[in-house]
Structure 1
Amino acid sequence: MHGSHARVVLGLHRTRLTPQLLRAALTFGVTTVDTAPHYQHGTAHQQLIDAAGNLLDRFTVCTKIGYHHNTATGRNTHSLDPQRLWSSAEAAVRSLGQPPAVLWLHNPERSLAGLPVHHAAEQLAQAAVVLARAARRGWCRSWGIATWNPDQVLPAVAAIRDDWPRPGLVMTRSGLLTPSQALTAAEGLAARCGARLWGMSPFGGDTQDPVWREVDPCQFLAPGQESTRWQAALRLARAVPDGVERVAVGASTPAHLAELITAPRLSVNTRLVASYRRLLERRSAAETSTAASSAGARSGSVSGSVNSGARL
C-alpha cells in the first residue's frame, strides 16, 4: 500500500474507467476522482458506480453542473439558469448515491460570453447562490468554479458586489502549455474569491502534441533528479500557475497512474519557471499589440474607403 497522494486527482473526462484502474488508484493512495454527469455521453456517473462497486465510498468524488445533457439528441447545452442548476445539483446526489465532496460550476464562461459585464456578474452571482444553497442543503461538502478560460470569468467576478457567496475552490488549466493570460487570470480569480486553486489538463489536452517531442519539461526541474517527461509535466502543473494544490489528470492504465503519482515529490527549478512565465507574458503582450495594430489598420482602411466614397 502506497502513501496518500492527495495532490493527484484522477480525472475521468477521457479516462478509460475500469475496476482495475480504480483498485490501483486506491492502492497508490489516489482517492479523489473528478467527473461530470455529461461526460461519456451522459453515462459518467453510472460508469463510476459500476466500476467502483462497493469501493465507491472509499473515494472522494467531485462532479460538475452547468452543462445539461440531452439524452434525445446526445448534445450538451450550457445554462446558468438557477432552476436548472438546482435540479442538476439534486440529480448529482441522486445519481451518485452520495453527496459529492466538491460540486463545480463548470465553465460558466460558456453562458457569460457576449454579455455586458454587469449582466454577467448578475448571472454568476445568482449561480453562486444556488451552489451555496446546495452546500447548505447537504448536497455537496463544498463548491467551486471549474473554468477553461478564467480570463473570461474574472471580469464578472470582479464586478460582483462584496456580499456574494464565494467559491472555496477554483480549478483551471495548469502546466507549461497554458496560455499566459489564463495563468494570470487563474491566480487573480483564486485571489479575488479567496479560494484554493486546483489545476487540470497538465499535458495541454493531448500527449501526442508535437510540442512534447520538441520540449523536454524535465529541464524545468531542479538538477539531479530522474524523471520522465510526463512526471515532470505533471509536477510543473502545480507550479504554473502559482499556488496549485492539486492537479486532475487522466490515466489509462494502472501502470500509467503508477508513473504519475511520483510527480509531486519532484522539485522545481523556480528560477527557470519564473523566467519561462516572463517569456510567456512578453509573448502574450506582443501578440496583443500586433492584434491591436492590425485592427487599427483595418479600421483605418475602412474609414478611408468611406471617406473616399463620400467625396465621390
Structure 2
Amino acid sequence: MHGGHASLVLGLHRTRLAPDLLRAALAYGVTTVDTAPHYHGGTAHQQLADTAGDLLHRFAVCTKIGYHTTASGSNVHSLAPQRLRTAASTAARSLRQPPAVLWLHNPERSLTGSPVQAAVERLLEAAAVLTKAVERGWCRSWGIATWNPDEVLPVVAAIRGDWPRPGLVMARSGLLAPAPVLTAAERLAAQCRARLWGMSPFGGDTQDPVWREVDPRKFLIEDSTRWQAALRLALAVPSGVERVAVGASTSSHLAELLAAPALAVHSQRISSYRMLLERRSAAETSTAARSAGARSGSLSGSTSSGARL
C-alpha cells in the first residue's frame, strides 16, 4: 500500500475520474485510492474498474460498507450483520480484487441515540463481520471511517475486554475540523490501537468563503501554495495522522499537492491554534448547557429509561 507518496491517498468522492489522472497518480507514486460503492450515484466501483482497466491491479483500493442502496435507489445506513456480509463480499467482486482497506463507514449513524450497551453490541457484531471478511480474503484489512468520531468514541470506550479491533481509523483532519472531532479522532485511534488517517483536508469545498479569510500558509515555516499548506496541516492536525485522502480531478492539481507532505510546519502555532479551538468549543458547550438548563428549569420529575449516547 505504500508508493512513492505514501502519505497521500487519492479520494474519489468528488473526483472526476479519467484515465490520464490515474496514470499520473501511478507515475507520481500515489498508489492508493479511496472510494465507496454508493459514491457517484452508486456507480463508483464500476467507474473505477472501467476507467483504470488493466491498471487497476496496481492500485490499493480502499472502499466502505455501511450504507446500503434500497430498491428505490436511496441509501440507508445499517450495521445489520447480514447486510454488512453481503456488502463486503460484493465489494471484492465489483472491484475485481480484495480491497486493501474495508472501512466501516460512519457507524455513528446507527449507534447514536441507542442505549450504550445496545450500541456496544451492535458495533461488536459489525467488527466481527469485518474481521471475518479479512479471514475470508474479501479484504486485506478493515477500519472505521467516521465523520463524527466524538459519537463513536463513547461506544468504543464502553467495550470491556478484548475485541476484534480495527487496524485503522479515518476522520476529518486539517484546520477546519472542529475541536471535538480532532480530539476524539486521536482518542478513538488510541482506544482501538489503530493507525490514524485523515480526510476532507479542505473542509469539503475549496470554494468555501472561509478560505478567503484563513491563510493556512501562516502555519508553515517554508513557502507553499495555499492548498499545499492546507493539505500539510491535515497531516499535523490531529496529531498522529499517517495519510490523508484528498480529491484531485486533474493531474496538475495532484502534482501541486505532492510537495505538501515534505513541508515543515510551525509546531508552536499549530499548538496555539488547537488550544484556541478547544477553548471556543468549551465556551460553546457551556453556553448551550446554560440555555438547555434555562429551558428545562420549569420541568421536574423527568425520568430516563437508560443511559443513551
Structure 2 equivalent of residue 21 of structure 1: 21
Structure 2 equivalent of residue 164 of structure 1: 163
Structure 1 equivalent of residue 137 of structure 2: 138
2:128 is equivalent to residue 121 of structure 1: no
In the alignment, residue 139 of structure 2 is paired with which amino acid? C
2:56 is equivalent to residue 56 of structure 1: yes
| 4+ runs deviating over 4 angstroms | none
Structure 2 equivalent of residue 35 of structure 1: 35
Q: TM-score, normalised by structure 2?
A: 0.95
In the alignment, residue 196 of structure 1 is paired with which amino acid? R
Structure 2 equivalent of residue 240 of structure 1: 237
2:262 is equivalent to residue 229 of structure 1: no
Structure 2 equivalent of residue 309 of structure 1: none
Gaps of 5+ in 1: 305-312
Displacement of 1:73 in angstroms is 2.0
> Rg larger in 1 or in 2?
1
Q: Hey, what's the Cα distance between the residues in 2 that align with 1:182 and 1:30?
A: 27
Q: Hey, what's the Cα distance between the residues in 2 that align with 1:282 and 1:53?
A: 50
In the alignment, residue 95 of structure 1 is paired with which amino acid? S
Q: Hey, what's the Cα distance between the residues in 1 that align with 2:287 and 2:163?
A: 38
In the alignment, residue 215 of structure 2 is paired with which amino acid? D
What's the C-alpha RMSD, in Å, of the aligned pairs? Answer: 1.0
Displacement of 1:303 in angstroms is 4.1
Structure 1 equivalent of residue 197 of structure 2: 198
Q: Hey, what's the Cα distance between the residues in 2 that align with 1:149 and 1:215?
A: 23
In the alignment, residue 254 of structure 1 is paired with which amino acid? S
In the alignment, residue 139 of structure 1 is paired with which amino acid? W
Displacement of 1:18 in angstroms is 0.7
In the alignment, residue 61 of structure 1 is paired with which amino acid? V
Q: 2:265 aligns with which of 259, 263, 268?
A: 268
Displacement of 1:161 in angstroms is 2.0
Q: Hey, what's the Cα distance between the residues in 1 that align with 2:13 and 2:266?
A: 30
Q: Tell me the SS of whatever aligns to 1:139.
A: coil
| CA deviations over 1:76-111 (Å, ceiling 9, x no partner) | 110000011001000001111110000000000011
Structure 2 equivalent of residue 251 of structure 1: 248
Structure 1 equivalent of residue 304 of structure 2: none
In the alignment, residue 14 of structure 1 is paired with which amino acid? R
Q: Hey, what's the Cα distance between the residues in 2 that align with 1:114 and 1:215?
A: 35
Q: Hey, what's the Cα distance between the residues in 2 that align with 1:303 and 1:57?
A: 62
Structure 1 equivalent of residue 179 of structure 2: 180
2:289 is equivalent to residue 292 of structure 1: yes
Q: Hey, what's the Cα distance between the residues in 2 that align with 1:16 and 1:29?
A: 19
2:4 is equivalent to residue 7 of structure 1: no
Number of residue pairs the alignment of both structures matches = 298
| CA deviations over 1:218-264 (Å, ceiling 9, x no partner) | 00012xx2201100000000110000000000001111111111100
Q: Tell me the SS of whatever aligns to 1:64.
A: strand
Displacement of 1:27 in angstroms is 1.0
Displacement of 1:118 in angstroms is 1.1
Gaps of 5+ in 2: 301-309
Q: Hey, what's the Cα distance between the residues in 2 that align with 1:192 and 1:186?
A: 10
Q: Hey, what's the Cα distance between the residues in 2 that align with 1:241 and 1:215?
A: 18
Structure 2 equivalent of residue 307 of structure 1: none
Q: Hey, what's the Cα distance between the residues in 1 that align with 2:69 and 2:258?
A: 32
| CA deviations over 1:127-186 (Å, ceiling 9, x no partner) | 000000000111111100000000000001011122210000000000000000010000
Q: Hey, what's the Cα distance between the residues in 2 that align with 1:117 and 1:13?
A: 32
Displacement of 1:299 in angstroms is 1.5
In the alignment, residue 66 of structure 1 is paired with which amino acid? G
In the alignment, residue 262 of structure 1 is paired with which amino acid? A
Percent identity reads: 75
Whichever structure has more helix as a proportion of its residues is: 1
